[in-house]
Amino acid sequence: MNYSKERGEDAQAPLRIIGYARVSSREQAHDSQALDQQRERVLTAGAADVLEDVLSGRDSDRPSFNRLMEMVQNGEVDEVVFTRIDRLTRSLADLTQCIRIFQESGVNLRILDQDLNLSTPTGKLMANLLGAVAEWEADLLSERVRHGKAYRRHLGLASESAPRGYLSEAGQYQLNQTPVLCLLSDRPTTKELLAAKSNEANALTVADIAQDLVALFLETKTTRATLKQFYEQYGIRRPRQASKSSPRLSDSSERAQSKAIEILYWTESGLRNWLMNPVLEGNTAYLRWIQRGKRRVRSTEPPEIHTDTHPEQALISHEEAAYIRETFAIYKQMGGGSFIKEKDGLEDQYRPYAYLTGLTYCYQCGSRCRTKTSKKGAYSYFVCPHAGKGCDNRKSVPKASLEKDLIRQLVAKSKSLRRQAASTKSGINSTKAAILANQGKSQAEISDYLQKNAAGYKDLIEHQGGQEPTSERLEGLKKQLDYLEKYPLYNPTIAAEKESIQNQIEEEEKQLNSVLRKSAGEIIYEGDRLVFWDTLPEHYKVDIYPRIIERLFVQNGHLKQANFKLENPEK
């Protein structure tokens, strides 16, 4: 239909024709040249320019599509050309709205494959019928995708899309060994080596950088500090994400390299979600995301987890993953107000007594207490949010005073646990001392034995029928060493492997003995002196207090009750 007669004085002017082309994915655009084919056809049909999108037809928020509709409504175009009606949209509701806007704006819609004319009732009917068919095809495709994903879950296969640092190949997650960059310290030292591309051998892979990110987070404990050090280390001055309008790459190798480079660009929320992904600890997660209308959102239901599907490709251990999840849970509990943001080159710092935030509750009404600061900022305190509004617990609790009360209760609890452990061990040690005396051992030897076998938290746990927390990795290393020890003949390779495993065992035991890796009961057991708690660094308290304390109940300006997280609920 030619609308030039409706343009008054410009009736003899040439039609302003714009083409529109769309494919759903980059791979579709490059591997099948679908976008190139559409572009060529609409240009041949008379389009002066072509607007293009690489997005699903169900997505109504497409940059070029939005620009096209804006041009139509502003009278900047007389005719729009595209190859098939599903290139415009796969939603019947969206198609109906588009047709209405085209008609109201006096713009002709030309569809090459169907040769439709919207000026006739038949043309409008056919457009709506074709739109309904396009929506039906999209629904069928979605259903096939759902069935395919259900089948992959049944087989325990990896998802088609893998988190950064990984590739999904043959239904398995594999660490991405694509070279990304070579640090200046590792680059070739001579022109000959540079010409021979020897730097490729020294290049860091995507997996190397992913492992570096994990190590930095375990060291710094916050996403902000992790990314700050990461960008400084790799010389990234202006980190940013690639946009939807980024230039198209010509071949699959370039696209793979572009995908690999994504490991260098992060947001804080993106890094947090990545660290929490079960794939990093060797598990496969399904149903983490669901389709809600046209949007893909995180499911409110727990995902379906298949454990240890690729343990050899794990970036973090199960213990480290649990620690990371616990760290983020603590930060969520404390809230953003517990941090002093980076300023003037200083690192993020915790506000004083931030580790008590989220743990303190009103003894009378059970509400979580709010944190407040005095007018001059001299001190901070907790107060019940309902004080004077139905709750009689009106008196605030200074945070410094609350911690002193808490430490006194922690020391008292520690001494109580030690008395219980000594009581369970005394009978065993008395019997062993008598046996040693009968064997003719000296008093010094007996005292040395008793000192080495003094009561500990392990004895208390065993007496209560529990089991002392351990490390899966440590147990696995010990089994490997035990297996190699049974080899009857000397073998240099086996001897070297045994030495390596022994060193790993010692390092793991050293980490387990760190206060940050101990269980709640172990930490309280060790804290039988005031100096233990008074000298704990601030960042240690942020890690430890939420792990050992369930809730603190305050009343009339003091700590009324402390509930601790012990392994045995009866203690």
List all residues 6 or more positions away from 367 whose beta carbon is below 8 Å from its beta carbon. Answer: 361, 384, 385, 386, 391
Quick check: 167 and 265 in contact, CB under 8 A? Answer: no
Q: How far apart are the first and last CA of the chain?
A: 85
Of 24, 56, 60, 367, which one is the catalytic site residue? 24
User: Are 263 and 180 spatial neighbours (Cβ–Cβ below 8 Å)?
Assistant: yes
Buried b (16+ CB within 10 A) or exposed e, 56-70: bbbbbebebbeebbe
24 is catalytic: yes
- Residues 195, 197, 198: CA angle, nearest 5 degrees: 115
Q: Name the DSSP letter for residue 387.
A: B
Q: Which of 314, 323, 137 minimizes the C-alpha distance to 221?
A: 323
Residue 220 is encoded by which pair of tokens?
A: 């710094």
CA angle 317, 321, 325 (to 5 degrees): 170
324, two tokens: 């990371």
DSSP 288: S
Q: Which two tokens stand for residue 96?
A: 């109906």
Cα within 13 Å of Cα(116), Cβ side: 26
Burial class (CB in 10 A: 0-12, 13-18, 19+), 567: middle
| Cα→Cα distances 550→403, 520, 521, 524, 565, Å | 15, 10, 12, 13, 6
Which two three-digit tokens encode residue 300? 């409110």
Other beta carbons within 10 angstroms of residue 260's beta carbon come to 21
Report the sign of the C-alpha dihedral through residues 466, 472, 477, 483, in that order: positive
Residue with tokens 């509750």: 361
Helix (H) or strand (E) holding 304: strand 304-306
Size of the chain, expressed as the number of residues it contains: 571
Q: Are 85 and 95 in contact (CB under 8 A)?
A: yes
Instruction: Please give the C-alpha separations between residue 543 and each of 259, 277, 512, 516, 540, in angstroms, as whole numbers.
Output: 35, 21, 15, 7, 5
How far apart CA 569 and CA 284 sit, in angstroms, is 32
| Residue from 60, 67, 116 nearest 88 by CA | 60
430-439's contacts with Cβ under 8 Å and 24+ in sequence apart are none
Contacts of residue 553, Cβ cutoff 8 Å, sequence gap at least 6: 361, 362, 363, 559, 560, 561, 562, 563
| Residue positions annotated with a catalytic role | 24
